[in-house]
Amino acid sequence: TSAVGKNATGLVAATFTPLTSKGEINLAEIGPYVDYLLEQQGVKSIFVNGTTGEGMSLTVEERKLLAAEWCNKAKYKMDNVIVHVGCLSLKDSQELARHAGEIGADGIAVISPSFFKPATADALKQFLQEVAAVAPAVPFYYYHIPAVTGVHLQSRDVLEGIEALIPSFRGLKFSGSDLMDFGQCVSYSPPHWSLLYGMDEQLIGALAMGANGAVGSTYNYLGSRVNKLMSAFNEGDLPMARTIQFQVQDILCYAMDLGFDLAVNKQLMSVVSGLVLGPPRLPLLLCPLPKANSIAQRLQQVLGVQ
């Protein structure tokens, strides 16, 4: 495998960012958060400051403080801390990438800029390359999430020849439903890359296509159950894997019918975990507690937890 770092595999929780009730970052909750994931969910890798972490709503300075604390608290405990460093501004991304290297992150990930959208895969690769170049020793992941960014370039085209541009390239977080594109990425990838799938509600489809891991927000509170899905799948017990997948879907469908966005998701995690994650930041609005409670109840019914 490559000279840089270890590979991300298995379940990776995309963490929420704890805020105080006044909306400031709350570093004190990060230690307990790491322990919760390890002890209650059996989740050993995290993806921080990403979409779930409201990374784009934070300042560069806040993202640095958060990344440092996640790395600090996860050290010697977790397998992988991947720090998302994508920004609209290349310069900001570079600053965060440099910092991630300094604090010993296990990997960095970059989303496509979405205000100005790269016109071609080459334009996007140039952007990614400029970010990766300032942290050449840190494993680099491209983060594909077209429904959010509005950037509909094929991931397969982004991967084409990318190691020549980014020697530290190590894989893909693919949060899209186009499994042909995902499959072609799998087919093209050398063994030392990680193909991480990001739509929790259809994970087994991606596992069938060859995913070797998953990054998602629901693994914050469903990690333990989805670990069983992955084991079942790996042991060839498809009916069991499917049963768990349908449970995940049931919970998400229930939530969607009530109106499910990142704010609700964050509140749900607070309710399920007991962690104090606080409100989201504007333009997201705080989810009313009864809604989160109702989803949490459904979750417990479906999982059969007392």
Residues annotated catalytic, as ranges: 143, 173
In the complex, minimum distance from the CB of residue 90 to a copy of itself, in angstroms, rounded to a whole number: 5
Q: Which residue has the tokens 């298995």?
A: 10
User: Using CA atoms, how far apart are residues 211 and 205, in angstroms rounded to an integer?
Assistant: 9
Closest CA to 212 of 199, 195, 233, 198: 195
In the complex, minimum distance from the CB of residue 193 to a copy of itself, in angstroms, rounded to a whole number: 16
Q: Is residue 194 within 8 Å of residue 6, measured between CB atoms?
A: no
User: Using CA atoms, how far apart are residues 296 and 306, in angstroms rounded to an integer?
Assistant: 12
Choice between 202 and 224, CB closer to a copy of itself: 202
Choice between 78 and 207, CB closer to a copy of itself: 207
In the complex, minimum distance from the CB of residue 3 to a copy of itself, in angstroms, rounded to a whole number: 27
In the complex, minimum distance from the CB of residue 116 to a copy of itself, in angstroms, rounded to a whole number: 6
* Preceding amide of 283 cis, omega within 30: yes
Choice between 74 and 277, CB closer to a copy of itself: 277
The site for a copy of itself (CB under 8 A) is made up of 54, 56-60, 62, 88-92, 112-120, 122-124, 126-127, 130, 148-150, 156, 177-180, 183-184, 186-187, 199, 201-202, 204-210, 236, 238, 241-242, 245-246, 249-250, 252-253, 261-262, 281-285
Q: How far is CA 236 from CA 42, 230, 232, 249, 269, in A?
A: 21, 10, 6, 21, 31
In the complex, minimum distance from the CB of residue 273 to a copy of itself, in angstroms, rounded to a whole number: 22
Q: How far is CA 100 from CA 92, 106, 302, in A?
A: 12, 9, 39
* Torsion 163-188-210-14 (CA) sign: positive
Choice between 192 and 281, CB closer to a copy of itself: 281
CA 31 to chain centroid, in Å, comes to 19
Choice between 102 and 178, CB closer to a copy of itself: 178
